[in-house]
Amino acid sequence: MNILVINCGSSSLKFQLIDSESEKVIAKGLCERIGIEGSRIVYQKPGADKKITEAPMQDHKAAIGMVIDALTDGQDGVVKHLSEIGAVGHRIVHGGEKFASSTKIDDTVLAAIEECSELAPLHNPANLIGIRACAELMPGTPMVAVFDTAFHQTMPEEAYLYGIPYRYYEKDKIRRYGFHGTSHSYVSKRAAEVIGEDIHKLKLIVCHLGNGASVSAVKYGESVDTSMGLTPLEGLIMGTRSGDLDPAIVEFIAHKEGMTLEEVMRVLNKESGVLGLSGGFSSDFRDLEDSYHAGKPEGTRAMKAFAYRVAKYIGAYTAAMNGVDGICFTAGLGENSPLIREMVCGYLGYLGVSLDEEQNAKRGEDLIVSTADSKTKILVIPTNEELAIARETYALVK
């Protein structure tokens, strides 16, 4: 069955058409600048050049219309008719406590996702627009919602509660939810396969290190803790997000700089992380690595602080699970940077970690990059959130 995977952002829409049997990507692409001047669709078939078409898209419905046109196009399309698309899988950022797994979309589910919008005001409304646009343009095609938060719903209370009055949890549902769940789930399952052991016998730590970054503790196949919280701002130092900090800093900056709460939150979300630490030099780790190798302070302090924070979380999650069998690196940075893996693993001597330099220099495939006698295994597992969404979707509609 052909599954269309849709990931709707506020002004962008990523898509992939995946054959559920071969699990191959049939076509993929991206609509950019939706609702803004200069909107365009980038469309690509495997092995072919990208086709970029500039066209006005006033909203997400127009964007999905363009995606359907591209997929069914007589010349460059991959299906003859819409009926060849068996189902649509939507990535939904926040499922709150309502969704502990993926679910087929109906009116009740739509209303529940809407209720979760309060927790993710930038993301869920865009996701909902995507669902509604597909429902209009592809009537009768089953749709599935796959939530970023669902995998972490197995966290115990002591991991998800904050040390604030309990009434805020009871009344407003303020708690740790965690994100990147589809990736943490996919990578931990794949890691168990690569190790060759039943996931229900393994204690794994997954480090999803991209522009957004999070760590999770996956004990016997279930997430028991993760570094992102109520929102994706908590935890690791990220590209532009601060991660953990003393909450009093918010008030301190607001007073000192004469800023509103919204302005301070903008600084913490958009101007902080390695971008902020490098004095505004770059949020891209390729630039930071160049700076680090050149011995310049901007990149060096940002990379060191980033790696230190990852190592601290690994220590915390090792304690939370009373041990760890494997530590997995994934996402843009985790998959592609031997240096960051080396810097993080430099802290893990107490876990008997020994990196295999030759293996660690490779990229692009599932790898064990620790030596055969390393007490804890270090793995690189390329994440594939789209494939995970397609699998979940197929499982619910087949």
Stretch of residues binding ligand AMP (CB under 6 A), selected from 4-12, 308-316, 331-339, 341-349: 331-339
Q: Which of 174, 332, 374, 387 binds ligand AMP (CB under 6 A)?
A: 332
Stretch of residues binding ligand AMP (CB under 6 A), selected from 49-57, 65-73, 333-341, 350-358: 333-341
Cβ at position 364, least distance to ligand AMP in Å: 10
108-127 residues near ligand AMP, rule: CB under 6 A: none
Q: Which of 113, 138, 228, 333 binds ligand AMP (CB under 6 A)?
A: 333
Q: What does DSSP say about strands 85-92 and 143-147: parallel, antiparallel, or unpaired?
A: parallel
- Closer CB to ligand AMP, residue 89 or residue 299? 299
Cβ at position 208, least distance to ligand AMP in Å: 8
Report the alpha-carbon distance of residue 2 to residue 4 in Å, rounded.
7
| Amino acid sitting at position 183 | S
Residue 72 backbone class (left: φ over 0; alpha: ψ -120 to 50; beta: rest)? alpha
Distance of CA 37 to the CA centre of its chain: 28
Q: How many CB atoms lie within 10 A of CB 294?
A: 10
The reply on whether position 210 binds ligand AMP by CB under 6 A is: yes
SS3 98: coil
Whether 148 is catalytic = yes
The two most distant CA atoms of the chain are separated, in Å, by: 61
Report the alpha-carbon distance of residue 195 to residue 133 in Å, rounded.
42
Which residues in 59-187 belong to E strands, given as ranges? 85-92, 103-104, 143-147
The reply on whether position 331 binds ligand AMP by CB under 6 A is: yes
Tell me which residue has its CB nearest to ligand AMP.
332
Q: Which of 239, 243, 276, 382 binds ligand AMP (CB under 6 A)?
A: 239
| Amino acid sitting at position 101 | S
Q: Which of 24, 286, 304, 398 binds ligand AMP (CB under 6 A)?
A: 286
In the 3-class helix/strand/coil scheme, how is 16-70 assigned residue by residue? Answer: EEEECCCCCEEEEEEEECCCCCCCEEEEECCCCCCEEEECCCCCHHHHHHHHHHH
Q: Which of 69, 197, 284, 342 binds ligand AMP (CB under 6 A)?
A: 284
Contacts of 164 (CB under 8 A, 6+ apart): 174
Cβ at position 285, least distance to ligand AMP in Å: 4
Cβ at position 223, least distance to ligand AMP in Å: 19
Contacts of 73 (CB under 8 A, 6+ apart): none
Number of residues counted as binding ligand AMP (CB under 6 A)? 12
The reply on whether position 285 binds ligand AMP by CB under 6 A is: yes
Binding flags for ligand AMP, 241-280, as an x/- string (CB under 6 A) = ----------------------------------------
The reply on whether position 289 binds ligand AMP by CB under 6 A is: yes
- Closer CB to ligand AMP, residue 44 or residue 374? 44
- Closer CB to ligand AMP, residue 286 or residue 375? 286
In the 3-class helix/strand/coil scheme, how is 164-228 assigned residue by residue? Answer: CCHHHHHHHCCCCCCCCHHHHHHHHHHHHHHHCCCHHHCEEEEEEECCCEEEEEEECCEEEEECC
Stretch of residues binding ligand AMP (CB under 6 A), selected from 146-154, 186-194, 297-305, 325-333: 325-333
Cβ at position 127, least distance to ligand AMP in Å: 18
31-50 residues near ligand AMP, rule: CB under 6 A: none
**C-alpha to C-alpha distances, 2 to 20, 107, 141, 154, 365, nearest whole angstrom:** 6, 24, 11, 31, 25
Catalytic residue among 69, 73, 148, 356: 148
Instruction: State the catalytic residues.
Output: 148
Q: Where do contacts with ligand AMP occur on this chain (CB under 6 A)?
A: 210-211, 239, 284-286, 289, 331-333, 336-337
